Amino acid sequence: MDSGRAEAFSDGVFAVAITLLVIDLLPIGSGPDLNAHVLLHHWPEYAAYVVSFLTIGIMWMNHHTILGHVSRVDRPLLALNLFLLLGIVAIPFPTALVAKHLTGPGGAVAAVTYGLVMIAISFGFDGIWVYVVTHAAALGAPLPREALWQSIPRFTAGLFVYVVGTLIAAFASAPAAVAIYGLLAVYYLFEHLPSPAGGDAPAGADGGDGGPGGLAG
Amino acid sequence: MDSGRAEAFSDGVFAVAITLLVIDLLPIGSGPDLNAHVLLHHWPEYAAYVVSFLTIGIMWMNHHTILGHVSRVDRPLLALNLFLLLGIVAIPFPTALVAKHLTGPGGAVAAVTYGLVMIAISFGFDGIWVYVVTHAAALGAPLPREALWQSIPRFTAGLFVYVVGTLIAAFASAPAAVAIYGLLAVYYLFEHLPSPAGGDAPAGADGGDGGPGGLAG
Amino acid sequence: MDSGRAEAFSDGVFAVAITLLVIDLLPIGSGPDLNAHVLLHHWPEYAAYVVSFLTIGIMWMNHHTILGHVSRVDRPLLALNLFLLLGIVAIPFPTALVAKHLTGPGGAVAAVTYGLVMIAISFGFDGIWVYVVTHAAALGAPLPREALWQSIPRFTAGLFVYVVGTLIAAFASAPAAVAIYGLLAVYYLFEHLPSPAGGDAPAGADGGDGGPGGLAG
Amino acid sequence: MDSGRAEAFSDGVFAVAITLLVIDLLPIGSGPDLNAHVLLHHWPEYAAYVVSFLTIGIMWMNHHTILGHVSRVDRPLLALNLFLLLGIVAIPFPTALVAKHLTGPGGAVAAVTYGLVMIAISFGFDGIWVYVVTHAAALGAPLPREALWQSIPRFTAGLFVYVVGTLIAAFASAPAAVAIYGLLAVYYLFEHLPSPAGGDAPAGADGGDGGPGGLAG
């Protein structure tokens, strides 16, 4: 299958998933009384919305970077991509848990669930990246074998932060964990990656820097 | 009409339908108490989500394979495609039934409804495939007439499994039926189809193997 | 603006609107008891789903046919298109009214509302078509002025049926009106239009037959 | 990254966001009694739907105009675009607040919240436009530096109206504020912009007139 088709479908899923996040906000203010206090009281909903929105947005960028290396996709890559999207589409669920329980007794369970979904998505990105690098020729991807080893630090970095966040959620503070998830997204949003506009840059270096690294690696 | 436009519209419908599956998960944990037991108690929702997600994903791949044969679409093919999408878009409904009733007294009815929708979708795929093969010249599809006969075993296979699953749901066990639906999806996900990258392969063989065969045939 | 961009956006809106129709089905069977009687009792929901699904599907085809004539869009055409989409996106609302009230005392109001939305959409299609024909040169559409007059019978036909259906809903029977809406969709689905694959056919004739005619004209 | 990909993703988000507006309408008429009075009583929902629909539609046009200038996007532009989409996707939330509270005691808070979201989106458009003009060479945009200064009047105009509307909502009348939001959308919808079809027009002038000007500037 031409990779453009798989990308277009994935883009559609990302676009719908990121937009469905607003559904969690709609019940706010549906009671008879509406005032500024009521609206501000729901700050966990807004925080969860912003964190998940930025996270899905960056994951979309990473997904695009990875699939941008290949010129065609085969059935195993489609299967791996489907497992990744299974996690992406689920994001509104832990987001809703965090939105409703962040400051209550269920906050730890909510933030741990959020972290576990992110860890699963990180493994999904890693799996796709490993498959792309190890099947570069068949997929029409101009990636040297070393791209895999070069990208290991980034692989580990994002995953490590999510594991730390999940542990903090479990044993220390749910709001602190959510703040970590959000800071991770903001960090990768502004991190100045090597210019993807530079078509002359070796593909391996680009893959190692912009590929599964980033938020989801 | 150019087939690309019909594919893009269908891709959009598939992408939205697969993403709307998360809506069934959003009410989980909306009560005042949230703990691991509450979350794990909802395993039928997660199971239904995963089974339907993989199923829609594979159906998207099959849809793409079939429409990939044609270079233009006519009004009857658009009509058949619309009936197929009518079934695809409905999937979140039986998914919600299974999610809510799988382990209760309504489990049989829920799993039978799920199976019936899948059987209807299978017929939808079969109808499109038969139309494409029998109107190959008008649709610009390089398919020999024999592609139809060669694909009969696969036609029957997927449909047969869904019929068996539906009967098991009706007379034996709803969870067992849902497990069969899920295993069918996983089987077709990992089945190593003849390389679609091999443009030299005869189109008929490709159609017979990768076309309406697969999950929905 | 290139017309492809406007078409892609419109296609996305059509795809989401047609898929959101399933939301009306999700509450079915959410009570504690689920059996075949409960499911069958909700036949108005299924009927409303099918009628609106086919209707939006055919409107998508008509929209594609009309915009297929032009090679670029200007601001007034974008504005007219936005008003049309305003009606398309609203369709799940009267659909929900019909689904809930078809067989009850509110059936007439529900079916009248449905008809009024369809009439408004018909005028929306007519407005776009008139604009396209009267600005054919500026929009890069190879349409003769006569295409407008040739298409008047079809303009009037679809609109006439919706007016009749709305009157029947108001003064006679809501289910009969919904049946008329559905039959109109099925009729246009299977009507054998002059082959759009025939690129040699005069554009005017194609526009007159396949353009704003059809369901929404 | 090629700008087409970022545009396609953004288009998808706009299309889903504009279509989700109908969700606010679905609960109307869900009670046992349905008559014309019940339906007409919900006019604030319809008004909020129309105003937000036209607003998102025009913002989509503006977004397309701005990104139409560039031929590639870099990471900062993607980040700015993500912040803009964060606001666009949130629009159904203040829309729901206005729909539910416009004529009640919470109307002022609802309309102020609506205005604040629009002001934030205006700043988002301004940020993207300033970035595009000041990085025109790197983004492959044929925009002279003067395009920035030429567009200042339009920058200020849209923002000014939203600030005025928000103040009117806070201190005078919520319905009047919503009417202003709606009139602003209608004004920009019909305003006859310099023909974007005129490819000979200097890009700077086009950017200054059709870019961040318009509704969101």
Question: Is pLDDT above 50 for C192?
Answer: no
Nearest to A79 among B28, B50, B189 (CB): B189
The whole-angstrom distance between residue B62's C-alpha and the CA centroid of its chain comes to 8
Q: Highest mean pLDDT range out of A182-186, B35-39, D24-28, D111-115?
A: D111-115
| pLDDT of amino acid A209 | 37
What pLDDT sits at residue D183?
93
In a 10 Å sphere around its CB, with 0-12 CB exposed, 13-18 middle and 19+ buried, how is residue B203 labelled? middle
Unique residue bearing structure tokens 């689904």: C99
- pLDDT at B3 exceeding the cut of 90: no
Exposure of B32 by Cβ count < 10 A (0-12 exposed, 13-18 middle, 19+ buried)? Answer: exposed
Query: How confident is the model at residue D171, as a pLDDT?
Result: 94
The rounded distance, in Å, linking the Cα atoms of D213 and D217 is 5
Mean residue pLDDT across chain D: 84
What is the C-alpha to C-alpha distance for residues D212 and D132, in angstroms, rounded to an integer? 11
For B38, the token pair is 């509450």
Give residue ranges of C with CB < 8 Å to any D CB: 1, 5, 8-9, 12-13, 15-17, 20, 23-24, 72, 74-76, 78-79, 82, 85-86, 89-90, 92-93, 96-97, 100-101, 104-106, 109-110, 113, 138
- Interatomic CA distance for residues C63 and C44, integer angstroms: 28
pLDDT score for B181: 95
Tokens of D24: 């606010």
DSSP reduced 3-state for C132: helix
Classified as helix, coil or strand, C72 is strand
Among D11, D15, D197, select the one facing C74 at the smallest CB separation: D197
Residue of A nearest to B192 (CA): A75
Q: Do C68 and B1 touch (CB under 8 A)?
A: yes
For residues C176 and C161, the answer to whether their CB atoms sit within 8 Å is: no
**d(CA C151, nearest CA chain B) in Å:** 19
**Which of C17, C72, C138 faces D19 most closely, judged by CB atoms?**
C17
What is the predicted pLDDT for the residue at A17?
97
Which one of D3, D10, D14, D18 would you mutate to disrupt binding with C, by most C Cβ within 10 Å of its Cβ?
D18
> Ranked by mean pLDDT, which of A84-98, B190-204, C4-18 comes out on top?
A84-98
Q: Is A118 helix (H, G, I), strand (E, B) or coil?
A: helix
Residue B194 — pLDDT band, cuts 50, 70, 90?
A: very low
**Are the beta carbons of B22 and A93 separated by less than 8 Å?**
yes
Question: Which residues of B touch chain C, with CB atoms under 8 Å apart?
Answer: 1, 5, 8-9, 12-13, 15-17, 20, 23-24, 72, 74-76, 78-79, 82, 85-86, 89-90, 92-93, 96-97, 100-101, 104-106, 109-110, 113, 138
pLDDT tens string B61-78: 989 888 888 888 888 899
Q: Tell me, what's the pLDDT at D191? A: 66
Burial class (CB in 10 A: 0-12, 13-18, 19+), B215: buried
Q: Are B29 and A1 an interchain contact pair (Cβ–Cβ within 8 Å)? A: no
How far, rounded to the nearest angstrom, does the alpha carbon of residue D92 sit from its chain's CA centroid? 12
- Tell me if D24 sits within 8 A of D49, measured CB to CB: yes
Residue of chain D whose alpha carbon sits nearest to that of A25: D93
**Closest-approach residue (CA) in chain C for D186:** C79
- Taking the C-alpha atoms of residue B213 and residue C142, their distance in angstroms, rounded to an integer, is 42
Question: Residue D72 forms beta bridges with which residues?
Answer: D2
**Average pLDDT of chain B, as a whole number:** 84
More confident residue, A56 or D73: A56
Q: What is the pLDDT of residues D57-105, one digit of tens each?
A: 999 998 988 888 888 888 889 999 999 999 999 999 999 999 999 999 9
- C-alpha distance from C152 to closest chain D C-alpha (Å): 27
CB contact under 8 A, C82 and D195: no
Contacts of B87 (CB under 8 A, 6+ apart): B117, B120, B121, B124
Which residues on chain C are in Cβ contact (under 8 Å) with D58? 82
pLDDT for position C138: 84
Structure ipTM? 0.86
Statement: residue C207 has pLDDT above 50: no
Phi, psi of D2 (to 5 degrees): -60, 135
Of C22, C153, C55, the C-alpha closest to B18 is C22
Question: How far is C-alpha A104 from the chain's CA centre?
Answer: 26
Q: Please give the backbone phi and psi of residue D72, each rounded to the nearest 5 degrees, phi first.
A: -150, 160
Residue D30: what pLDDT?
87
Q: Which of A72, A92, A101 sits opposite B197 (nearest CB)?
A: A72
Note the pLDDT of residue B198. 38
**pLDDT for B119-131, tens place per residue?**
999 999 999 988 9
pLDDT confidence band for B191 (50 / 70 / 90) = low
Q: Report d(CA A114, CA A123) in Å as an integer.
A: 15
CB-CB neighbors (< 8 A) of D25 in chain C: 90, 92-93
- State the nearest Cα–Cα gap between D119 and chain C, in angstroms: 23
As given in the structure block, the two tokens for residue C67 are 């915009």
* pLDDT score of B197 more than 70: no
Asked if A19's CB is within 8 angstroms of D13's CB, the reply is yes
Is the Cβ pair D35, C106 closer than 8 Å? yes
With 70 as the cut, is the pLDDT of residue A135 above it?
Answer: yes
| Chain A residues with a Cβ under 8 Å from any Cβ in chain D | 7-8, 11-12, 14-16, 18-23, 25-26, 28-30, 32-36, 39, 49-50, 53-54, 57-58, 60-61, 64-65, 68, 189-193, 195-197
pLDDT in tens, D141-176: 877 777 777 777 777 788 899 999 999 999 999 999
Q: Chain A residues with CB inside 8 Å of D5's CB?
A: 7, 11, 64
**Distance set, CA B113 to CA B156, B177, C35, D188 (Å):** 20, 11, 10, 49
- The residue of chain D with its CA nearest to that of C4 is D8
Q: How confident is the model at residue A122 (pLDDT cuts 50, 70, 90)?
A: very high
CB D12 within 8 A of CB D89: no
Measured CA to CA, the distance from residue A23 to residue A40 in angstroms comes to 18
Inter-axis angle of helices A43-67 and A203-210, nearest 10: 160
Alpha carbons D38 and D60: distance in angstroms, whole number: 33
- Tell me which of B13, B23, B85 to substitute to probe the interface with C (most C C-beta atoms closer than 10 Å): B13
User: Which of B112-121, B178-187, C41-50, C145-154 shows the lowest mean pLDDT across its residues?
Assistant: C145-154
- CA-CA distance, A209 to A203, in Å (whole number)? 10
Q: How far is CA D3 from CA C57, D6, D77, D86, D140, in A?
A: 30, 5, 10, 19, 10
Where does the pLDDT of residue A149 fall: very low under 50, low under 70, confident under 90, or very high at 90 and above? confident
B72 contacts in chain C (CB < 8 Å): 197
Q: Does D34 contact C109 at a Cβ distance shorter than 8 Å?
A: yes
Q: Count Cβ atoms below 10 Å from residue A202 Cβ, excluding itself.
A: 14
What pLDDT is stored for residue C191 in this prediction? 66
Per-residue DSSP letters for D180-209? HHHHHHHHHHH---S-TT-TTS-HHHHHHH
Give the residue with greater pLDDT, D100 vs B208.
Answer: D100
3-state secondary structure chain B: CEHHHHHHHHHHHHHHHHHHHHHHHCCCCCCCCCCHHHHHHCHHHHHHHHHHHHHHHHHHHHHHHHHCCCCECCHHHHHHHHHHHHHHHHCHHHHHHHHHHCCCCCHHHHHHHHHHHHHHHHHHHHHHHHHHHHCHHHHCCCCCCHHHHHCHHHHHHHHHHHHHHHHHHHHCCHHHHHHHHHHHHHHHHHCCCCCCCCCCCCHHHHHHHHCCCCCCC
Which pLDDT does position A205 carry in this prediction? 35
Q: Over the stretch C93-107, which tens digit does the pLDDT of each residue have?
A: 999 999 999 999 999
Query: Mean pLDDT throughout B184-193?
Result: 74
Rounded to the nearest integer, the mean pLDDT of chain C is 84
HSE of A17, CA atoms in CB hemisphere, 13 A: 31
Residue of B19, B21, B34 with shortest CB distance to A101 = B34
Lookup result for tokens 């869009």: C73
Residue burial D17-45, b: 16+ Cβ < 10 Å; e: rest:
bbbbbbbbbbebbeeeebeeeebeebebb
**Which residues in chain B have their CB less than 8 angstroms from residue C29's CB?**
96-97, 100-101, 106, 110
**Nearest-angstrom CA–CA distance, D71 and C25:** 43
Question: Per-residue pLDDT averaged across C81-97, rounded?
Answer: 96
**What is the rounded distance in angstroms from the CA atom of residue A163 to the CA atom of residue A180?**
11
Examine the pLDDT at B207 and tell me if it is beyond 70. Answer: no
What distance in Å separates the CA atoms of residue B212 and residue D132, rounded to the nearest whole number?
A: 47
C-beta of residue C117 within 8 angstroms of C-beta of residue C91? yes
Angle between helices D107-134 and D174-190 (to 10 degrees): 30
Q: How confident is the model at residue C137, as a pLDDT?
A: 84
Distance from the C192 Cα atom to the nearest Cα atom in chain D, whole angstroms: 31
Residue range A107-135: average pLDDT? Answer: 93
pLDDT at A30: 87
Given a cut of 60, whether residue D212 has pLDDT beyond it is: no
Residue-wise pLDDT for C33-49, tens only, equals 898 989 999 999 999 99
Reply yes or no on whether the pLDDT at C52 is more than 60.
yes
Q: CA B184 to CA B171: how far, in whole Å?
A: 20
> Residue D133: how many CB atoms within 10 A of its CB?
26
- CB contacts, 8 Å: A85 with chain B: 18, 53, 57
Where residue D128 falls (left for φ over 0; alpha for ψ -120 to 50; beta otherwise) is alpha
Assign B209 a pLDDT band (cuts: 50, 70, 90): very low
For residue A103, count other CB atoms closer than 10 A to its CB: 12
- Checking if the pLDDT of D206 tops 70, the result is no
Task: Determine the Cα–Cα distance for residues A145 and C66; give it in Å rounded to an integer.
Answer: 51
Q: Does the pLDDT at position D205 exceed 70?
A: no
Chain D neighbors (3+ CB pairs < 8 Å): A, C
Residues 6+ apart with CB under 8 A from D65: C1, D196, D206, D207, D210, D211, D214
D93: nearest CB among A25, A65, A192: A25
Does pLDDT of C202 surpass 60? Answer: no
The C-alpha atoms of residue C62 and residue C154 are separated, in whole angstroms, by: 12
Amino acid at A208: G
Question: In 10 A of CB D7, how many CB atoms?
Answer: 19
Higher pLDDT, C126 or B211: C126
User: C50 and B86 in contact by Cβ < 8 A?
Assistant: yes
